[in-house]
Amino acid sequence: MGGRPKVLVVDFGGQYTHLIARRCRELGVYSEIVEPGSLEEALGSGSVRGLILSGGPRSVLEQGSPRVSERILRSPPVPILGICYGHQLIAHMLGGRVVSGLAREYGRVKVRVVERDKLLKDIPSELEVWMSHGDSVAEPPKNMKATSLSENGVITSMSDGEKIYTTQFHPEVSHTQHGKTVLRNFLQEICRIPPTWKPRNMIDEMVENVRRTVGGERVICAVSGGVDSMTTAYILSKAVGSNLYCIFVDTGLLRKGEGKRVEEAARRAGIKNLIKVDARERFLTRLRGVKDPEEKRRIIGEEFIKIFEETAARIPGARWLAQGTIYPDRVESGRAGKGSALIKSHHNVGALPERLGLKLIEPLRDLYKDEVREVAEELGVPEEIIWRHPFPGPGLAVRIIGEVTEEKLRICREASAIVEEEITKSGLQREIWQAFAVVGDDKWVGVTGDARTLGYIVTVRLVESVDGMTADWPRISHHILERISRRITNEVPGVVMVTYAITPKPPATIEPC
């Protein structure tokens, strides 16, 4: 991201770090997340115009809690905004007093402005903000003044009036009134960064970057029908034209109509070389008799890589692999090693470039999902793909409980298509994170006419979520559920009963396997 002016958000492990970074981008300022340990190096890039120290779960009073170098705080190279943990850290490191348990404030709290500095410009004298803290700043450092107080007398913001500003509350959270103005004040009034960042304006730069990087060499891109891989293919197509080879593997575990959608999208982008591999039989054969979810995932991952390798070997002179990695993928996987428990081994083909001896190119690596969608819109990616729900790498196999058979695949695919159609018709498609059907081996007795038949049970799973980490089931109208149920039992042979999954995540995961 070269010389574009940017703000760095230092990650102390708080839940709102990504939200802060996204808010800055919404306000037209490019932002990046850095670990405290890499801050000095990141500051060296020259284009950093502001620093935000975010929230975090630790107490600054604890030994070993994360810090930044004191030098940065004593003579800030750029303006600094400390939020929550950042507010306390600044107080603690610059000689103020932080105490534990003075007043614990969680949720909405009323705040009064007592000294109006640049950060609080255009903010009313009283407002409601979102708080989540146990420790508090009891005394600001010598050169800083409290600028607002909570109804409990807690210092809710302070500043030196020049380069360091802090808030105990979370301006990035939508429940904080005028939070966006606070962040805008920091970025524009204090850091003086022009609000010029727009994802769609980056297309030319991304295309140029790809062109410069790969030169005249051939590039392979795996497309799946999802928005990230398809947008990557569109950018590559613009950059290298007929040197792009897209591979689409039909695993037989895909959603209804996926092949056609991919073909149509590739045609629109003018992609000349789309290699379709029909691997339905291969996957089904390898999955025969396999019931264990982890084993299914392992087999699918392995088989996919094998097929991809065989196909790539047929493209002579290919040197590059383009992947649709996006910003949260990188930042999350950077952190995944540090204590996050493995719940399911998500099949992502991380090992591919090394196995194939290809160099990796990831044009979307700095973008958030909503920014990818904006870029995709500008590039003319079909609407249907832009707004498609996330779909797991192992596909319908993780929506089929027990063995994957042809019959269960047909039921899962057809029933899922009905669920998606009805959710789209009801205008809920964009509000709902995922909508699909699940099938297992349990049967229910049905009556059709005079005959008694044993039929499958289909479970409808709808979830609301922001990032897939937690989820809830939407309380949608019974009429929609009724339509879904009626259509599935009428239109999908072999199904007798439809149920609705009403357990959030946690305790249940989104996918059944």
Among 82, 226, 293, 394, contact with ligand XMP (rule: CB under 6 A): 394
Q: In angstroms, what CA-CA distances link 153 with 102, 126, 223, 499?
A: 10, 14, 56, 52
Residue 84 annotated as catalytic? yes
User: Hey, which residues does 132 pair with through a beta bridge?
Assistant: 106
CA–CA separation, 122 vs 182, rounded Å?
9
CA–CA separation, 404 vs 471, rounded Å?
26
Among 405, 424, 429, 509, contact with ligand XMP (rule: CB under 6 A): 509
Closer of 353 and 468 to ligand XMP (Cβ): 468
Minimum distance from CB of 299 to ligand XMP (Å)? 12
Minimum distance from CB of 324 to ligand XMP (Å)? 11
**Residues ≥6 apart with Cβ < 8 Å to 151:** 109, 110, 111, 112
Closer of 237 and 434 to ligand XMP (Cβ): 434
The single residue of 133, 170, 246, 412 carrying the catalytic annotation is 170
Residue 347 annotated as catalytic? no
Among 66, 252, 392, 494, contact with ligand XMP (rule: CB under 6 A): 392
Tokens of 158: 């302070």
344 near ligand XMP, rule: CB under 6 A: yes
Q: Which residues of 377-401 are buried (b: 16+ CB within 10 A; e: fewer)?
A: ebbebbeebbebbebbbbbbbbbbb
Residues in 79-98 that interact with ligand XMP by CB under 6 A: none
N residues, the chain: 513
| H or E segment to which residue 229 belongs | helix 227-240
348 near ligand XMP, rule: CB under 6 A: yes
Tokens of 310: 């065989």
Tokens of 299: 């087999």
Residues in 177-206 that interact with ligand XMP by CB under 6 A: none
474 near ligand XMP, rule: CB under 6 A: no
Minimum distance from CB of 356 to ligand XMP (Å)? 20
Residue 172 annotated as catalytic? yes
Q: What is the DSSP letter of 211?
A: H
393 near ligand XMP, rule: CB under 6 A: yes
461 near ligand XMP, rule: CB under 6 A: no
CA–CA separation, 362 vs 222, rounded Å?
12
Residues in 420-449 that interact with ligand XMP by CB under 6 A: 434
Among 18, 347, 388, 487, contact with ligand XMP (rule: CB under 6 A): 347
Catalog residues that contact ligand XMP under the rule CB under 6 A.
Answer: 297, 343-344, 346-348, 390, 392-394, 398, 434, 468, 505, 509-511
Which residues form the catalytic set? 84, 170, 172
